[in-house]
Amino acid sequence: QPAAFGSRFGGFGNLSKLGESLREKAEVMIQKKDEAGDAAAPATAETTPKKAPEPTPSTPQTATNATASASTPLAARKPEDVSKEELLDILQKMNKRVKGLTMMRTQLTERVTKAEAERGELVKFFREEVVSPQDLEDATNSIPDEKETNGVEVLQRAWRAADERSSLTLQHLQNEYKVVSMQCKAEVEKVKATAEQERSADIDKLRAEMAEAVGNDSEKEGTLRALRQRDERIAELHSQLEQAKETKSNAPSEATNNEAAIDELKEAHKVALEEREVAHKADLEKIRLDQTNKMKVFKEKVASHIDKVRSAEKQAADEEWTSKIGVITAQHEAEVQKLQQTSSTSGDSKDNAEERLQELREELSAEHKTELQRLEKAMEESQQKSIEELQSLKEIHAKAQETLSQLEEELKKAQQLMESELQSLRTELEESHARQLDQVRLELTQASSESQAQ
């Protein structure tokens, strides 16, 4: 592996050999230079004491040679012209560079090893979790020339096939969910229509009972007929009284006989008025009691009907919501199981499956919230309709009360008119009776005076 790595990245593996060869050459050159210096020294150098070398004055020629050797590059110079210090400096620089390159080679080798391991794990995960063996086999068979097969191309083909199958499965699940949602909506609309029809039938029945309780025309006509008969009787007595007055005015001599008739008519008229007043009060009390009982029964029926409608609507809404929740929950569980089975058989990624399941949960949660809001809105509309119906029934009740009040006012006005007529009739009768008595007394006085004169 390191050799392959070195050959792959420009032959960094041969740098250590290059440094070793340079080091050997430098050592050989230093050894040759030392041997040449030892051979040129005199043989008596060992017995005679060595003197310190006298500093030789630097001549311009020597400085010129040093400057020329320093400015000349190493590649153009001879080995004898390279000093030991320069060689050591070059050797240290080469050692540092070799160490840096070696460290870099080690780091790159570790990176390559780690990348190869991660690549192996990724390929293993992709083969085991993302695609299935059938996808790999189909992708391998889809390439015509087996010699040109590439692992990456095979994995790409297998992944495309698995992704296409997952998309088709998801589309199928969405279509099934739409069908089930439409069926649930149709069932909900059917239940709402049935509840609306039942509520309308109950309201129509209650209205009919209210109309029957309020508008009893036969009893009203009977009461008015009795009042008209009494009015006719009073008018007849009044006409008889007027006839008696005319008869008395035409025949003053019969005043004494007619006085008894007048008194009789007065008594009969008074009795008739009293009977009419008593009957009127009895009828008024009867009508009041009857209307009170009817309104009480009507209120009880309205209250019971409203309670019944509310309980029925609440029960229907609860049953509808419970059934809807059950259907959606069962559908959700079925989709989750189906998606899990599909994921396990097709080798889909667990992360993708979990993400899709989370998306399905969010979609179902949103659908649940929307359906709940729609049902709450429908219940509010139903309650609003019930309130409106109750308001209309209250208006009918108010109209009935108003009709009863008008009837009472009419009866009071008729009673007041009857009392005023009775009072005027009594006044007229008393005045007429007084005049007739005065006339009779005057006639009797004149007759007695005439008889005394005779």
Q: How confident is the model over 386-411, as pLDDT tens digits?
A: 778 777 777 877 777 787 777 778 77
- Lowest mean pLDDT of 49-58, 130-139, 301-310, 364-373, name the range: 49-58
pLDDT above 50 for 60? no
- Lowest mean pLDDT of 25-39, 56-70, 83-97, 107-121, name the range: 56-70
Q: Is residue 181 very low, low, confident or very high in pLDDT (cuts 50, 70, 90)?
A: confident
Residues 6+ apart with CB under 8 A from 290: 219
- Predicted local distance difference test score (pLDDT) of residue 55: 41
Number of CB atoms found within 10 A of residue 174's CB: 13
Rounded Cα gap, residues 303 and 308, in angstroms: 8
- Predicted local distance difference test score (pLDDT) of residue 260: 63
Considering 49-53, 238-242, 328-332, 361-365, the range whose residues carry the highest mean pLDDT is 361-365
> Which DSSP letter does residue 347 get?
T
pLDDT above 90 for 25? no
Residues 6+ apart with CB under 8 A from 327: 180, 184
Buried-state track 96-119, b at ≥16 Cβ within 10 A, e below 16: eebeeeeeebeebeeebeeeeeee
pLDDT above 60 for 58? no
Residue type for position 298: F
Q: Span 273-291, mean pLDDT?
A: 73
- Predicted local distance difference test score (pLDDT) of residue 444: 76
- Predicted local distance difference test score (pLDDT) of residue 378: 77
Query: 17 or 153: which carries more pLDDT confidence?
Result: 153
Considering 60-64, 314-318, 373-377, the range whose residues carry the highest mean pLDDT is 373-377
Residue type for position 190: K
- Predicted local distance difference test score (pLDDT) of residue 259: 58
Query: 11 or 327: which carries more pLDDT confidence?
Result: 327
- Predicted local distance difference test score (pLDDT) of residue 8: 42
- Predicted local distance difference test score (pLDDT) of residue 16: 57
Q: Span 352-374, mean pLDDT?
A: 73
Q: Is residue 108 very low, low, confident or very high in pLDDT (cuts 50, 70, 90)?
A: very high
